[in-house]
Structure 1
C-alpha cells in the first residue's frame, strides 16, 4: 500500500526532499514507514525521541497502524536547536558500505569527511588467517557507540559521526568496521575520526576470534 510522507525543517534537509510516497505492506505502523524511509535516506534522524509523527494531521504514537493513502508528517522539535553529532550507529551481520555512512554525515557545511574502514587481513602474529568471527554484547555495544558520539561532540561540536560494525563470520577482504566523520575542516575530521575508532576499539564490547589455515 502507498502512504504519502512529508518532512519538515532539518528532517527535510536530511531527506533531501519535502514529500515522498512510500510503499509498505498492509498493517505497517508509522515506525515501519520511518524505517523504510531511513533505508532510502540514511541521514534521517535515527533517534525517535527527536522526531514526532503526525498521521492525517493528528499527532500519533509510533505504533499507530497506517492505511492506504494516509499522510504521515515527520516533525522535529519545534524549538529547533543544534544538530546531533551522532547520526548513525549500527551493529549487524550485513556487509558494510562506507559510502552509505559518508552520505549520512555529509551536509553543506562539511568541508571534509574522514572515513576509517577496518578490513579482515589474511595474516596475524605470523599465521595465515582464513576468516574471523565477531561476537558482540549488542545492546551495550550500540549504547557505547552513542556515548562515543557524545564524547566527540564535546571536543568537535561541529562534527557529525557515523559508526557501523559487523558481527558473525567475515572473510578475508571484508570490512569489519567503518567510522565516518564530517567536519568543516580536514584536521578536525581526521582527529575526530581517529578518536572515534580508537575509543570504539577500547570500549565497545565486541570480540573477534581468528581462524588460522591450520585449523587453530
Structure 2
C-alpha cells in the first residue's frame, strides 16, 4: 500500500522532503510498523523517527492504531523547527476564537474576542521573541505548523478550559513564518467571572499548547541555527491535561 505522509521540522530536513509518498509492502499497517519501515528506509533519520508521534486523521495515534491508504498521516517530531513561509496565510476556527497566521499579531484584537459583560476578569498572555539567551544573540525565530491539526488542538484546549473552569472564554492566535526580536509569536486571551479562574486558565492554556499543538520553531542566531525542544519535560502530546 502507498501512504502519503506529512513531515515537519527537523524530520523533514533529515529526510529531505515535507511530503512523502511511502510504499509499504505489507498487507496490514499500524503506527509502530510504519515507524519501523521508515527507520529502515531512512537510517539517518531513524533516531528522530523513533521518538516521533504518528498522527492519523489529525489525532495522535497509539502504537497499535491501524493505518489505511485513505488516512491522512503525519509524523510529529518532538523538537521544534521551521521553514520560511511565502505569501500571506491566515487560518481560523469557525467561531473565530482560534487562528494561525503569518501576519503580525494584535493584542487588542485577540483580547476583544473574549471580553463579555458577564465576566469581571480578562487576562492576556503574549509570548515574544527574546533576543539574548545567556550570551547568545537571537536574530529571529521561524515557526511552522501542521495547520489543520494545530487548529483542532487549539479548539481542544478551549474545550478543556471550559470544562475545568465553567464559563471561562478563551481565544488563541499563533504566528507562523519569521518572527523578529520583541515581536509576538502567540497571544492567549482568557476571560472569566472571577480573577482566580482567569489566572489558572491562562497558565493552563500556554502549557497545554506546548504539550499538544503541532507548531514548531527554529531559532536563528548570529552564528547559526538550532532546533529547540519542548520545555515541559518528557514530551507526550497524548497525555491528558492536568490542573496546575
Same fold (TM > 0.5): yes
CA distance in 2, matches of 1:109, 1:194: 22
Partner residue of 2:94 out of 44, 47, 54 = 47
CA distance in 1, matches of 2:100, 2:224: 28
Q: How does 1:147-162 map to 2 (within 5 A)?
A: 147-162=156-171
**What's the counterpart of residue 118 of structure 1?**
127
SS in 2 for 1:129: strand
SS in 2 for 1:109: coil
CA distance in 2, matches of 1:148, 1:204: 9
CA distance in 2, matches of 1:188, 1:215: 42
Q: How does 1:115-194 map to 2 (within 5 A)?
A: 115-124=124-133, 126-194=135-203
Q: How does 1:1-216 map to 2 (within 5 A)?
A: 47=94, 88-124=97-133, 126-216=135-225
CA distance in 2, matches of 1:153, 1:106: 15
SS in 2 for 1:142: helix
* Post-superposition offset of 1:215: 3.1
* Post-superposition offset of 1:176: 0.2
CA distance in 2, matches of 1:90, 1:167: 11
Which has the higher mean CA deviation after the structures are superposed, 132-141 or 118-127?
118-127
Cα deviations by residue, 1:130-186 (Å, 9 ceiling, x for unpaired): 101001111110000001111001111110100000000011010000110000111
Q: Tell me the TM-score normalized by structure 1.
A: 0.59
CA distance in 2, matches of 1:157, 1:89: 19
**What's the counterpart of residue 237 of structure 2?**
none
**What's the counterpart of residue 238 of structure 2?**
none
SS in 2 for 1:105: coil
* Structure 2 unaligned regions, length at least 5: 1-92, 226-244
* Post-superposition offset of 1:214: 1.7
CA distance in 1, matches of 2:100, 2:133: 24
SS in 2 for 1:128: strand
* Post-superposition offset of 1:125: 5.0
Q: Tell me the TM-score normalized by structure 2.
A: 0.53
* Post-superposition offset of 1:47: 3.1
Aligned length: 134
> Hey, which bits of structure 1, 4+ residues long, moved more than 6 A?
none
CA distance in 2, matches of 1:215, 1:187: 43
* Structure 1 unaligned regions, length at least 5: 1-45, 49-86
